[in-house]
């Protein structure tokens, strides 16, 4: 496996870990809102997958208006956790650090309330979130190493590798100047491409401003020269007004 492809594989693995860790913030926000809706209906039960903070908020009110205010507070808290998930999925480190810190404090609230199932779930969620935080550092390290490797290769061969992890990049043939000079008397570069089926017209008309279609529509039938042919045969343009000759031209 080439270095560029190896970096791409490592980056994909790190991004997958980041996305998995960030998804837990979204789950926490969603389950907390479900518990908030249940509490707003006056029910006394709830899922242990939510936040302890929203449980405390839902426990305080004793009137209808109090439940409405509590639901609004729950919505704000859940929005923060949803924000953590969105930002963490983008490969940012601060949402992981802040989210993990708040989740540990939230677990302490549940310890005081002796809700051990919820505490166990918090511990499991932290176990799944923490690799995402480590993967952010891994991703930055891989990207730095990739840039350094690309710079070294560019310095050695004179150009940067092709995008998309393809290495080595395909050679790029230099484009000839166009239109050719009006007094051009030599045939184009030789030998032609191995897969060429017809010869290009030569010389092009003096007023030609664009390259002719390839293969040309009216070029005579032509078979490519032997593979060991390295130079174009000597060529003399036809006298003006005379019919064009065959191609490739005949040595004169």
pLDDT digits (tens, 9 = 90+) for 127-178: 999 999 999 999 999 989 888 887 887 777 655 555 555 555 555 555 555 5
Give domain status of residue 113, yes or no.
Answer: yes
Would you say 82 and 15 are in contact if contact means Cβ atoms under 8 Å apart? no
77 part of a folded domain: yes
Residue 168 forms part of a structural domain: no
- What residues of the chain score a pLDDT lower than 50? 219-220, 235-236, 241-252
Structural domain contains residue 222: no
In a domain, 125, yes or no: yes
> Is 124 part of any domain?
yes
* Residue 221: strand, helix, or coil: strand
pTM score: 0.57
pLDDT, residue 248, reads 47
- Full residue range of the structural domain in which residue 39 is found: 25-130
- Judge whether 47 lies within some domain: yes
The verdict on residue 56 lying in a domain is yes
d(CA 186, CA 203) in angstroms, rounded, equals 8
Q: Compute the distance between CA of residue 35 and CA of residue 39 in angstroms, rounded to an integer.
A: 6
Contact 87, 140 (CB under 8 A): no
**Model pLDDT, residue 83:** 95
> How many domains, in total, are found in the chain?
1
Question: Do the Cβ atoms of 7 and 146 come closer than 8 Å?
Answer: yes
Alpha-carbon distance 77 to 95, whole Å?
14
Of the candidates 172, 138, 166, the one whose C-alpha atom is nearest the C-alpha of residue 153 is: 166
pLDDT at 7: 81
């Amino acid at each position: 496996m080439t270095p560029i492809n190896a970096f791409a594989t490592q980056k994909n693995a790190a991004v997958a870990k980041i996305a998995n860790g960030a998804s837990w913030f979204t789950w926490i926000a969603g389950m907390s809102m479900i518990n908030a809706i249940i509490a707003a209906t006056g029910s006394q039960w709830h899922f242990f997958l939510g936040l302890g903070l929203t449980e405390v908020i839902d426990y305080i009110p004793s009137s209808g208006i109090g439940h409405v205010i509590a639901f609004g507070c729950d919505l704000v808290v859940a929005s923060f956790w949803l924000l953590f998930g969105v930002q963490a999925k983008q490969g940012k480190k601060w949402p992981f650090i802040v989210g993990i810190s708040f989740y540990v404090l939230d677990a302490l609230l549940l310890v005081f309330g002796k809700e051990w199932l919820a505490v166990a779930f918090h511990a499991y969620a932290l176990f799944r979130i923490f690799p995402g935080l480590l993967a952010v550092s891994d991703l930055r390290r891989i990207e730095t190493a990739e840039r350094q490797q690309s710079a070294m290769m560019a310095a050695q061969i004179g150009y940067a590798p092709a995008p998309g992890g393809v290495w080595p990049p395909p050679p790029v043939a230099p484009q000839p100047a166009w239109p050719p000079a009006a007094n051009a008397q030599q045939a184009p570069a030789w030998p032609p491409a191995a897969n060429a089926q017809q010869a290009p017209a030569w010389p092009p008309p003096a007023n030609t401003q664009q390259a002719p279609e390839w293969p040309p529509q009216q070029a005579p039938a032509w078979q490519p020269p032997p593979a060991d042919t390295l130079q174009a045969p000597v060529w003399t343009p036809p006298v003006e007004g005379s019919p064009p000759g065959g191609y490739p031209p005949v040595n004169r």
